[in-house]
Amino acid sequence: MKVPEQIKRLAVVIFVIVAAVLVTRYLIPASVVDQRVYRAASVQREVSREIKFAGATTCGDCHDDINTKKKLGFHKGLSCETCHGPSVKHAEDPSSGKPFAPRERKFCPQCHEYNPSRPTGFPQIIPTIHNPLKPCITCHNPHDPVPPQVPRECSACHAQIERTKALSRHALLECTTCHSTPTRHKLLPRSVKPTKPENREFCAKCHDKGAPRKEAPKVDAATHGGRFLCWECHYPHMPGEA
Amino acid sequence: MDKREFLKSLIVFIPAGGIIASLAKQAGAKAPAPAYQAKNHYYGMGIEIDKCIGCNRCVEACKLENDVPDEPFYFRTWVERYTIKKDRTVVVETVGLRKGKRKEIVEQEDVLRSFFVPKLCNHCANPPCVQVCPVDATWSTEDGAVIVDKNRCIGCRYCIQACPYGARYLHPKTKTADKCTFCYHRVVRGLLPACVEVCPTQARIFGDLKSQASRLVRFERMNKIHVLKPDLNTQPKVYYAGLDGEVR
């Protein structure tokens, strides 16, 4: 029997339609066409991503001493990981290494450097003149940051000198490093005076080349400055501003 | 059953029923917390301009948490510094990541006011980026985060163009659009987004708009709230307190 030409063509058309339906129904995976499926998969991918910051409450479980201290200080609002960086690995397995601990001087100014756009009242410093050129943690405890305490004895009267010195490179030196104060100075401040350095050799004890204090800047005391005394050019309570 | 019998059994049944119900309730309370239900949450973020110190901790934390490329032009969140001069000109600059040498900040005589504005994806309730996506690769989840499906995204950048806040970028490795997800992987586990976690001054507040007890709802109640570009009707879910008129 001869199949008419139009039937053949119709068969081809029907076959194509059926094939198309089958392909869209069964061969294309649901994860490509079904919105619910591919969105669920996408949410799953998003949710299963790795966490890197452990969260503020985690650290206190072990480090409760530091946590209690921090809670009472000015840094109470800070999360540990604000400074120590992402630490989820350390939280899960404390033996896997310690979190980053910033010790260098350039870290704290990220928040505390003076910037006119910062809100009024936020504690700020100018790192180039807030001295000594030492890491902030030498004077300030980052878990309980307060201005470093000064000896009350001298600052009670010489507050201006104390404040100047507190910002200077000599901040860590006691007043008694250079001045020896008789006890009676407190009773009779004008008639019994503390001593002052009298000669160039006094400063040279630290600042001469070859002097023992390594961090003090060195000069050749024999030639530097000629016949002048050190404090005729350098103010000892704010040195470096000659 | 006669009337007497019925009343008798009722006397037993009512207290017994009460005891059984309370027991069932206790058992329910002891059962572990139910899994995260997206439909019970609707997230947003609050930002208090007066508290931001422009320290960029949020930007660095975001980059670490979400593997955002290190180059200084790929951001999921970033901080802008606005400087408004006395002649009403406005200078906006992105606070740089302080890897290299820092620019000296000089106080200028003619500056009227200056402040920082942290920015990120606003997770709009009516997001223009979702409308333009030709392959259905980006959408709003039930809990209010706008998310990109990396497997579907073809990298055509329509959404990057459409976002009025410039919150999207093309990831140079995957060549797909990338953006803030409110740290979705953290949020579903009850953690805060990384930027909120590290903010030293609590300038960023994250919370659930469906919970009356959330910090964000309280933040909205206590502050006068503005959003960015409200006239576009994108209905952003990042709420700013103390936002200067120049920013809006």
User: Averaged in consecutive runs of 10 residues, what is the pLDDT profile of chain B (248 residues)?
Assistant: 75 69 58 72 92 91 91 89 86 71 61 90 94 93 92 93 93 92 92 92 92 90 91 93 84
Mutate to test the interface with A, among B47, B50, B53, B114 (most CBs of A within 10 A): B53
The answer to whether residue B248 sits within a structural domain is no
Chain B residues with beta carbon closer than 8 angstroms to that of A113: 105
Residue A139's pLDDT is: 83
Beta bridge partners of A93: none
pLDDT for position A148: 65
pLDDT score at B23: 62
Nearest CA distance, A17 vs chain B (angstrom):
25
Using CA coordinates, name the residue in chain B closest to A107: B98
Which of B111, B181, B191 lies nearest to residue A55, judging by beta carbons?
A: B191
Tell whether B98 is within 8 A of chain A (Cβ): yes
Q: How many residues does chain A have?
A: 242
Distance set, CA A242 to CA A235, A237, A239, B96 (Å): 7, 11, 7, 34
Instruction: Give the one of A42, A48, A56 whose C-beta lies nearest to B197's C-beta.
Output: A56
pLDDT (0 to 100) of residue B37: 85
At A198 the pLDDT is 87
Q: What does pLDDT average to over chain A?
A: 86
Question: How far is B110 from B45, CA to CA, in rounded Å?
Answer: 34
Number of domains in chain B: 1
Rounded CA separation A64/A62 (Å): 6
Instruction: State both tokens at B5.
Output: 């019998």
Q: What is the pLDDT of residues A11-21, one digit of tens each?
A: 999 999 999 99
| Per-residue CA distances from A210 to A201, A216, B32, B156, B215 (Å) | 13, 11, 71, 68, 61
In whole angstroms, give the CA distance from residue A238 to residue B4: 102
pLDDT the model gives residue B17: 63
What is the predicted pLDDT for the residue at A114? 87
pLDDT tens-place string over residues A94-121: 888 888 888 888 889 889 988 888 888 8
How far apart, in Å, are the Cα atoms of B168 and each of A1, A3, A212, B35, B133? 67, 62, 58, 31, 13
- Indicate whether B100 belongs to any domain: no
B14 assigned to some structural domain:
no
d(CA B198, CA B61): 7
The answer to whether residue B55 neighbours chain A at the CB level (below 8 Å) is yes
Chain B residues closer than 8 Å to A77 by CB: 200-202
pLDDT recorded at residue B165:
93
% pLDDT > 90, chain A: 11
Cβ neighbours around B151 below 10 Å, total? 14
Chain A contact present for B114, CB below 8 A: yes
For B195, nearest residue in chain A (alpha carbons): A82
Q: Is residue B58 part of a domain?
A: yes
Question: Which residue among A51, A111, A115 sits closest to B200, beta carbon to beta carbon?
Answer: A111
Mutation target to probe the A interface, by most A beta carbons within 10 A, among B185, B187, B189, B205 is B185
Residue B142: what are its φ and ψ, rounded to 5°? -65, -30
**pLDDT tens per residue across span A130-148:** 866 788 888 888 998 877 6
d(CA B79, CA B93): 9
Decide if B72 contacts B97 (C-beta within 8 A). Answer: yes
**Minimum Cα–Cα distance from B48: chain A residue:** A119
Say how far apart CA B45 and CA B206 lie, in whole Å: 5
Low-confidence ranges of chain A (pLDDT < 70): 131-132, 148-152, 241-242
> What was the ipTM of the complex prediction?
0.75
- Domain assignment present for residue B55? The answer is yes
- Segments forming the whole domain that contains residue B211: 39-77+119-241
How many residue pairs bridge chain A and chain B with CB atoms within 8 Å of each other?
105
Residue B63 falls inside a structural domain = yes
What contacts A6, CB < 8 A, 6 or more positions away?
A: none
Question: Is B69 among the domain residues?
Answer: yes
CATH code of residue B223: 3.30.70.20
